[in-house]
A and B are shown apart, each in its own frame.
Chain A
Amino acid sequence: MSLRHGGLSPLQRYVGRRLAVVLPTLLGMSFLVFSVASLTPGDPAEEYAQRVTQRPPTAAELAQARHELRLDRPFAVQYVDWVAHAVRGDLGKSFFTRHSVAAEVRHRIPFTLQLAVPAALLSLVIAMAVGTVSAFYRNRPLDQVVRVLSLAGASMPSFWLALLLVIGFSVRLRLFPVAGRQDGLASLVLPVAALSLPSAAVLSRFIRSTLLEVLGEDYVRSARAKGAREVAVLTRHALRNSLVPVVTAFGTSLGHLLAGTVVIESIFAWPGLGTLTLDAIHHRDYPMLQAFILFAGLIVIVINLVVDVSYAVIDPRIRPGRRAVPGAD
């Protein structure tokens, strides 16, 4: 089998195959958004021209606006044109600000990452620690307390948690700013906490139950039978063998974290992508919305790809080419 594909390693072939699925998906998604956007009532060119001139536009001004927004051609041409520009990194002009969409998105991405990356790492660290401890002390008082707390955390609306944190730590204790981004770490603390805690709660429950499942396997019994200490059983056998599902769950939670930034950014008036997207939704700024969907799609695809490839690193039994790879067909 590998002879036919000379040159390429199984992993390369595998990534190639994933990309072959991914690109049509992205294209299909952008087409869907594009067509639905053009079907919705309301003329973006008219709204745009009115914003520019501050009065109902004349026919000439309307035509000018259509031309400027690339809306004066048939739908199919518009779409192909958009794709052709998009692959070159040009995502068009905002219907609202008239600025380049790509430049605006590039400007906002770092702010969102400042929240998302620490939140992701924090949630993983908390979840690993809490989940493992909980599994180690299963059904003992500590585990019971942790389970109640993590279920509460998993049921907590992140936007409510954020507001509670603001009341407690900003309004009452005046430890952190209520909203807005400032230099230094103080303004990061509350948004990152609100973003990571619910995520950590969900993940820790998952880690606990995965560990408990693995602890029922034969090799764990063998390890115990040969006299391994419970800590060693847990860390060396159970934890290692539960890494694959845990990494998958972490990948999923990253996607949800990205969605969560939209809500959290709006609460903390954080100048990231989420705020940009909400503004785009309120202004019906379709090119901006398209860009966000494209960006989110790319991120999710990259996460999935990294997760899938990491299987092979974590578990030698799952190697592309040796047997079917999860998700690839």
Chain B
Amino acid sequence: MTAPVINLEATRLEAAAPGRRLLRGLAQDRTARIGLVLVVVFAGAALLAPVLATRDPDVIDLVHKFGAPSRRHLLGTDHLGRDEWARILYGARLSLGTAVVASLAIAAVGITVGVLAGYLGGWVDGVISRIVEVLLSFPGFLLALAVTGILGPGLRNLLMVMVFVSWAGYARLVRGLIVAERSKPYVESARATGVSDLRIVSRHLLPNIMSPVIVLTTLDMGAVLLGLAGLSFLGLGVQAPTSEWGAMLSEAKTYIGDAPQLMLYPGGSIFLMVLAFNLLGDGLRDTLDPRTALGSAKSRSRRRRPAPSCAKRTI
């Protein structure tokens, strides 16, 4: 959500076959592999929720509230007798689904703005860069709280808020990459042969800057998920009866003394999911940016701003 200060310029050099490099890197990097497996498991759970869940996540059964795990209820039941296993699975749909949708929207907005600033330059770049600078200097979650406070709670507002507070990081990254790429011979020769600006951007520039953007999206996904769950936990996002992990955790909070296990499942799910994206993102970055490896730092310019990125978070 805030200043994803990632040093990814180096990955540009490797952009010749980004897709293949990504896959090879994933296969070789142990942390990335663990992350990928976790992401696939959760995505599978989300997609197959109707098949895997044998119960309806919303059916209330007060007689069997706080039930222990059984064959009927794999993870037991919550304070209203609802099936916890089904709620976690359907929660994966909502939590993971909103995080993915939000991240794609954030990336789309950020890339567009970044390309505009980097490619057009001039006053457009000046205005955009100033806005980006202001947005990045504020902690995303504070900004999200403020905007949610004004717009009011709800899923749609939540998504809008996340896009509003998170696009700037992408815009800055993409702008920098485009500026560096714009004057390269291949772009000049494309321009010389009469290729249109739109085509230069879409066919020549974008493919060459994609891998750092993919790494940023992956690293950012965990932060977005954390932010969404956090806002829902505070009652500002997805509202209580819906099975969303943050909202479930908020409900379980009331029964912390009697049924602490109810907090374990949604909280643990959020934790594992964020961990998965962080592992995957770290692994991808290490493969794509060879300079973070120890010993090869010689070529680096001296920077005053933080350069190497780690898992980041906003709350």
A-side residues, CB < 8 A to B, are: 25, 28-29, 33, 36-37, 40, 138, 151-152, 154-160, 163-164, 166-167, 171, 178, 198, 202, 205-206, 209-210, 212-218, 244-246, 248-249, 252, 255-256, 258-260, 262-263, 266-267, 277-278, 280-282, 284, 286, 289, 292-293, 296-297, 300-301, 304, 311, 315, 318, 326-327
A159 to B, closest residue via Cβ: B233
Contact yes or no, A157 B274, CB < 8 A:
yes
Q: Is the CB of A163 within 8 A of B146?
A: no
Q: Looking across the interface, which residue of chain A has its beta carbon closest to that of B146?
A: A293
Tell me, rounded to whole Å, the shortest Cβ–Cβ distance linking B143 to chain A. 9
What secondary structure prevails in chain A residues at the interface with B?
helix
Contact A259 B145 (CB under 8 A): yes
- Interface: B179 (CB within 8 A): no
- In the complex, A258 Cα to B236 Cα: how many Å? 18
Is B186 part of the binding interface, using a Cβ–Cβ cutoff of 8 Å? no
B278 touches A296 (CB 8 A): no
| Chain B contacts for A280, CB-based, 8 A | 149
B252-274 vs A, CB cutoff 8 Å, 1 = contact: the mask equals 01001100100100011011001
Q: What residues make up the interface of B, taking CB atoms closer than 8 Å to A?
A: 2-3, 133-134, 137-142, 145-152, 222, 226, 229-230, 233-236, 249, 253, 256-257, 260, 263, 267-268, 270-271, 274-275, 278-279, 282, 292, 294-298, 300, 303-308, 310-315
**A282 cross-chain contacts in B, Cβ below 8 A:** 235
B304 contacts A318, C-beta separation under 8 Å: yes
- With contacts A202-B310, A263-B315 taken as known, whether A292 is within 8 angstroms of B146 at the C-beta atoms is yes
A252 and B2 within 8 A (CB): yes
Contacts A155-B271, A157-B270, A248-B305 supplied; 4 other A-B pairs, CB < 8 Å: A151-B279, A157-B274, A244-B304, A245-B306
Q: Indicate if the CB atoms of B137 and A304 lie closer than 8 Å.
A: yes
Task: Report the minimal beta-carbon distance from A166 to chain B, rounded to whole angstroms.
Answer: 6
**Cα-based distance from A61 to B233 in the complex (angstroms):** 37
Number of A-B residue pairs, CB cutoff 8 Å, is 187
Task: Assess whether B150 is in contact with A37, with CB atoms less than 8 Å apart.
Answer: yes
In the bound complex, residues from chain B placing their C-beta under 8 Å from that of A248 are: 304-306
> In the complex the two chains form, is B297's CB within 8 Å of A213's CB?
yes
- List residues of chain A with CB within 8 A of the CB of B268: 160
> Nearest Cβ in chain A — how far from B159, in angstroms?
17
Other-chain contact of B230, A157, A205, A300, A318 (Cβ < 8 Å): A157
Measured CB to CB, the closest approach of chain B to A18, in angstroms, equals: 11
Instruction: State whether A216 touches B294 (Cβ < 8 A).
Output: yes
- Can you show 10 pairs from A to B with CB atoms below 8 A apart? A138-B294, A155-B274, A159-B230, A163-B249, A164-B267, A166-B256, A210-B306, A252-B2, A256-B313, A300-B139
How far in angstroms is the closest Cβ of chain B from A264? 9
Determine the chain A residues whose CB is within 8 A of the CB of B234 once the complex forms.
Answer: 262-263, 266, 278
A-chain residues with CB within 8 Å of residue B249 when the two chains form the complex? 159-160, 163
**A213-B226 contact given A262-B234, A300-B138, CB 8 Å threshold:** no
Residues of A within 8 A of B146 (CB): 33, 289, 292-293, 296
B125 CB → nearest A CB, Å: 13
Contact B256 A256 (CB under 8 A): no
* Chain B positions within 8 Å of A259 at CB level: 139-142, 145, 314-315
With A157-B229, A245-B305 as contacts: A255 and B279 at CB distance below 8 Å: no
CB-contact partner of A163 in B145, B222, B253, B274, under 8 A: B253
On chain B, the residues within 8 Å of A28 by CB distance are 134
Q: Which residues of B contact A315 (CB under 8 A)?
A: 304
Give the distance in Å from the alpha carbon of A251 to the alpha carbon of B222 in the complex.
21
**A249 pairs with B142, CB closer than 8 A:** no
- Interchain CA distance A198-B271 in the complex, whole Å: 12
**Contacting pair B298 A218 (CB below 8 A):** yes
Q: How far is the CB of A35 from chain B (nearest CB, A)?
A: 10
Query: Could you tell me the distance in whole angstroms from the C-beta of B267 to the nearest C-beta in chain A?
Result: 4
- Beta-carbon contact of B311 and A326 below 8 Å: no
Chain B residues with CB under 8 Å of A215's CB are: 294, 297
CA distance in complex: A159, B251 (Å): 13
- State whether B151 touches A40 (Cβ < 8 A): yes
Check B304–A212 contact: CB distance below 8 A: no
Which residues of chain A come closer than 8 Å to B292, judged between CB atoms?
209, 213
Partner of A155, one of B222, B260, B295, B296: B222
Residue of B nearest to A29 (CB): B134
Residue of A nearest to B292 (CB): A209
State whether A160 touches B304 (Cβ < 8 A).
Answer: no
* Chain A residues whose C-beta falls within 8 Å of the C-beta of B307 in the assembled complex: 210, 213, 245
Known contacts A202-B312, A281-B145; A289/B305 CB under 8 A: no
Chain B residues closer than 8 Å to A218, beta-carbon distance: 298
Q: Among the interface residues A296, A318, A326, which one has the most CB atoms of the partner chain B within 10 A?
A: A296
Closest to A25 in B: B134
Q: Cβ of A252: which chain B residues have Cβ within 8 Å of it? A: 2-3, 139, 306
A151 vs B234: C-alpha distance in the bound complex, in angstroms?
A: 25
Asked if A255 and B2 make an inter-chain contact with CB atoms under 8 angstroms apart, the answer reads yes
Most buried by B among A214, A218, A252: A252
- With beta carbons under 8 angstroms apart, the residue of B134, B298, B310 that contacts A154 is B310
Contact A263 B313 (CB under 8 A): no
What's the minimum C-beta distance from A260 to chain B, rounded to whole angstroms? 5
Closest to A220 in B: B297
Does B263 lie within 8 Å of A163, measured CB to CB?
Answer: yes
Task: Report chain B residues within 8 Å CB of A255.
Answer: 2, 138-139, 142
Q: How far is the CA of A244 from the CA of B54 in the complex (A)?
A: 55
B96 CB to closest chain A CB, in angstroms? Answer: 15
CA–CA, A163 to B235, complex, Å? Answer: 16
CA distance A262 to B233 in the complex (A): 12
